[in-house]
Amino acid sequence: MKWRILILSAISLFFTACQVQENIQDGQTAYKLKKYKLAAELLQKDFNKAELPDEKSKIAFQIGESYANNNNYENAGEWYFKAYDLGYESEAILQYALMLKAQEKYEEALKEFEKYLLEEPYRRPEMTLEMDACKNGIAWKQRQENEYERDTYVTEITTLNSGDADFNPVIYQGDKLIFTSSRDMSTGENNDSWTGDKYYDLYVANIKDVTSFSAPELFKGPFNAAYNDGTLAFNKDYSEVYFTRCGSDDRKVDDYCGIYVSNYLPDGGWSEPVALPFFDDTMNIGTPCLSLDGNTLFFAATNPDGYGGADIYMSRRTESGWDAAYNAGQVINTSGNEVFPYFDSEGVMYFSSDKHPGLGGLDIFSATWKNNKFSNIKNMEYPINSGADDFGLILLDKKQFINSDTLNAGYFSSNRKGGMGDDDMYFFAKTTKKLRPPVFVLKGTVLEKVYLDSLDVNSTVLDTIPLDKSIATLSYPNEQTLLGKWNIGDEGIFSIQVDSLKEYKITGMKEGYFNNTTYVTTKTVKGKPGDTVVVYASVVLDKIPIAIGEKAGEIKLKNIYYDYNDSSLRAESFPELDKLVKLLNENPGLNIQLNSHTDSRGVDKYNQKLSRGRANSVVKYLIEKGIAAERLTFKGFGESSPSTLTSDEILPDGKVVPKGSVLTEAFINTYKSNKDNFEFLHQLNRRTTFQVTSATMNIESEDADEIIIDKAD
C-alpha cells in the first residue's frame, strides 16, 4: 500500500536502510515507528521467544498487521489466523477474512465473515456489505471469464513498469505519460526508511500507442527533490501542475505530505513549487485533481475532523488564490480512505476507496458530480478492481477508438498479484461484448389426437391437444444415451438448448398409447450471431384401441392395395406398411395380429382363402423388414365383416355416403348403376387392419412445424 506514503503516514525519521537496521533492534520499536518491513522480521523473533499464549497472540497479530501494510496478504492472513487460534480477540478473524478477500478467495472469506458474526453479531450491517461484496466478486469474475459476457480487458504496461513501485499515470500534452516511481533511477541519496526503497520521483515517457512507450526519463523541472514527489495533476492547457511532496532534511520534526503548485513560465521551464496552505502542518494531504473548468481543486487529506481515514476535500479558486478547503461530504467519504480523485472529460469523477463496498483493498469507483454534490457511487467492477489496491484511474480520449469496438479505455494502478513490482500500471479497455453464435432452443410438445368418435381411433381426427402426464425423451438418432427426459404436464411442453448442425430424436410415451418418435434437425436452421433461434417440434401419440363389446379394437391400415383377385401387395402399399414397421420398432414389446378383409364378390370359401393370403403377405413384408415373426399373427375374414364408415364418404360422382353406413353387399348393390361408385365402395371393404395382442406403446412422426427467431436482448 505504497500510496499511504504520499497521503496517510507522517514521515518522522529519515535514516538510510543500513542505519535503520543498526538503530532498531526490536520488533516493537519498528512496529511503533511503522517500519513494517523490518517489523515483520523482528517480531517473528519476539514471537519465537514469547511463552505465554496472550503474548504470542498479540505479537502474531502485529506480524499480520506488518505484512498487511506491505501488501503481503498471504503471510498476513496466516499470522492473523495464528493470532486468532492462540486466543486473540475476534478482530483477528475479521482481518483474516479481509486478507482472504484481498487474495480474491471470496468463497473462503464469506465463511470467515460468518464466523466473525457469531462472535460480533452487532456488526451484521457492516459485515453484510462485506459479504455482498464477496458475492459480487464471484459474480463479476465469472462474468468476465465468460467468453460472451466479457467486456473489459486489462493489460500490464510492461514497457513502463519496473520491479519497484510505479503508479498514478497522467497524460501530459496529449502525447506523453507522467507517472510516479521509486525505481533505482530516482534522485536522492538515501532510501525511504519505511519501505527500504528509493524515494518517489516523477517520470515521463512518450506515448507511441496506447500500450507502447519510449523509455521513461525523470520529468525535468523542480519536482524531483531529495524525498517523495508524485501524484500530479495538470490544468487543461498544461500551464499549471499540482503535485504531492513529502519529506525534508529536518529530523527534529514530523514532515507531513502537502500539495505544491508550479506554473509554466513564459520563457520556458517551471516555476519553483509553492506549498498550498490548506491546513496546519499536522496532517497529510495529496493526490490533487482539478475540475474540468480548473476552478475547483479536489484532493485527499487525513483531517481528524473528517469522516475517518483520508477524505476527499475541495477548494474553490478565487482572485487571490484558493479558498479554505472543505470536506466533499459523506456521500463520497466514509470511515475508510478515499483518495486519488480524477475527472474525465464528461465530468464524471473517479476515485478510490477501501470502505465503499469493494473487492478488497482500494477499489476504483465512479461518482456523478452535479450541483456541487456527489451521487450515484458505482464500483468499476472486476477486472479493473481486484482483491488488492486499485487506484489512480484516468481515461483516454474516445476519439482514438472511433470505428473500433472499444467503448472506453484508460490507465490505472494496482498492486495486484502478477505484476512486475509492488504497484504497477495497467491499460484497460471496455469493449462491446463478443457476439455469441446463435443459440438454438428446442421446444417440443407431446400431443394426442382428438377423434370425431372418441371411442374409435379410425374415425376422423379433429385436432391434437397436449397430452397430460406423458413422458418425452431426447436423444441422438441411433444412440441410446438420453440427452433429456421430461414429465409433461397439462401444457405438454418441454424445452432444452441444443447444438447447431445436429439431428435429434424426440420420443413420446404414455401408458395406453403407442410410443412415437419425431426427428428434428438444426442442420438447415440459420441464425445471426446473438440470436436465439427457437425450433418447434411435436410428437403425436395414438391411443392403443380397446375392444368394445364383441368388436375387436382394430386400427385400419390405409392404402394397402391388392390387385383384384390377388393376394400380392402392390408397391403403393409399402409406405403405409413402413409406418407399421416403424411403430413395431419403437414399441418392442408390441405384438399384433394382422386382419385382412375382401369385398363380397366371389364365393365365401374363396374370399376366406384370399383374405388369409393377403394378411400373410403383409406378415411376410414385415418379417423382411426385420420384425420378429413371433410378434406377428394373421387372420383372414373374407367378406364376413363388412366395413362400417367412421366418417362421411364422398363418392366419385360427388354423392355422400353417411357415417355409420355398413357396406354390405346389398347396400353396395344400390349404387350398381354407377360403376365408379360401385367399385369405390367395394374397395373400402378390401382392407387390412391390425389389433394389439400384447403391448407397450406408438408413432406418427411430425416434422418441425415452425421456426421463430427472437432477437437477443
Per-residue confidence band for 164, with pLDDT thresholds at 50, 70 and 90: very high
For residue 232, pLDDT over 90 is answered with: yes
Distance CA(367)–CA(386), nearest Å, equals 19
Q: Can you identify the CATH homologous superfamily of domain 439-544+700-710?
A: Immunoglobulins (2.60.40.10)
- Most confident range, picked from 186-200, 381-395, 502-516: 381-395
Report how far residue 116's alpha carbon sits from residue 132's, in angstroms, rounded to the nearest whole number: 15
Please tell me the predicted confidence (pLDDT) of residue 696.
47
606 contacts: CB under 8 Å, gap ≥ 6: none
Given a cut of 70, is residue 504 above it in pLDDT?
yes
Decide which of 178 and 692 is more confident: 178
Bridge partners (DSSP) of residue 420 are: none
* pLDDT of 604: 84
Distance of alpha carbon 429 from alpha carbon 157, whole angstroms: 13
Domain spans, the chain: 35-146, 163-400, 439-544+700-710, 554-694
Query: Which of 302 and 10 is assigned the larger pLDDT?
Result: 302
Crossing angle of helices 91-102 and 73-85, rounded to 10°? 160
Instruction: Choose the weakest-confidence range: 248-252, 309-313, 449-453.
Output: 248-252
Residue 3: predicted pLDDT = 42
CATH code, 163-400 = 2.120.10.30
Partner residues linked to 240 by β-bridges:
263
**Is there a common fold for 439-544+700-710 and 554-694?**
no
Helix (H), strand (E) at residue 582: helix 574-586
216 band by pLDDT with thresholds 50, 70 and 90: very high
637 touches 647 (CB < 8 A): no
pLDDT in tens, 6-31: 443 322 222 222 333 446 778 899 89
Rounded Cα gap, residues 656 and 138, in angstroms? 73
Q: How far apart are CA 162 and CA 184, in angstroms?
A: 9
What is the spatial distance between Cα 351 and Cα 392, in angstroms, rounded to a whole number? 7
* DSSP state, residue 154: E
Architecture of the CATH domain 35-146:
Alpha Horseshoe (1.25)
Q: How far apart are CA 183 and CA 160, in angstroms?
A: 11
Smallest CA-to-CA distance from 474 within 499, 449, 439 is with: 499
The stretch 658-671 carries a mean pLDDT of 91
Distances (CA, A) of 27 to 59, 96, 457, 524: 9, 21, 94, 74
Distances in Å between the Cα of 426 and the Cα atoms of 156, 170, 508 are 4, 12, 57
C-alpha cell at 145: 471469464
Q: Is the pLDDT of residue 503 over 90?
A: yes
Q: What nine digits make up the cell of 428?
A: 484497460
Least confident of 22-31, 303-312, 350-359, 620-629: 22-31
Over 70: is that where the pLDDT of 713 sits?
no
d(CA 392, CA 409): 14
| Residue 195: per-residue pLDDT | 63
Q: Are 337 and 310 in contact (CB under 8 A)?
A: yes
pLDDT higher than threshold 60 for residue 521: yes
Mean pLDDT on 67-95 = 94
> Rounded CA gap, 523 and 535, in Å?
11
Residue whose grid cell is 355409420: 660
3-state SS of 501-564 is: CCEEEEEEECCCECCEEEEEECCCCCCCCCCEEEEEEEEEECECCCCECCECCEEEECCCCECC
**Residue labelled with grid coordinates 469507483:** 365
Please tell me which residue, 460 or 192, carries the higher pLDDT value. Answer: 460
Our measurement of the distance from residue 8's CA atom to the centroid of its chain's CA atoms, rounded to an integer in Å, reads 38
The answer to whether the beta carbons of residues 73 and 105 sit under 8 Å apart is no
C-alpha cell at 619: 406378415
Q: Where does residue 159 rank: exposed (0-12), middle (13-18), buried (19+ CB within 10 A)?
A: middle
The answer, yes or no, to whether residue 710 has pLDDT greater than 70, is: no
CATH class of 554-694: alpha beta
Burial of 552 (0-12, 13-18, 19+ CB in 10 A): middle
Confidence of residue 701 (pLDDT cuts 50, 70, 90): very low
From the number of C-beta atoms within 10 Å of its C-beta (0-12, 13-18, 19+), residue 154 rates as: middle
- Written as nine digits, the cell of 694 is 400384447
Short-list 42, 36, 33, CA closest to 14: 33
Task: Tell me the residue type at 366.
Answer: S
| Percent of residues, the chain, with pLDDT higher than 90 | 61
Q: How confident is the model at residue 706, as a pLDDT?
A: 52
What average pLDDT does this structure show over 423-452?
Answer: 92
**Which pLDDT band, with edges at 50, 70 and 90, does 702 fall under?**
very low
Which residues in 655-693 are b (16+ Cβ under 10 Å) and which e?
eebeeebebeeeebeebeeeeebbebbbebbbbbbbbbe
Give the integer Cα–Cα distance in Å for 292 and 510.
Answer: 72
Q: Quote the pLDDT of residue 695.
A: 61
* Residue that the C-alpha cell 344400390 belongs to: 670
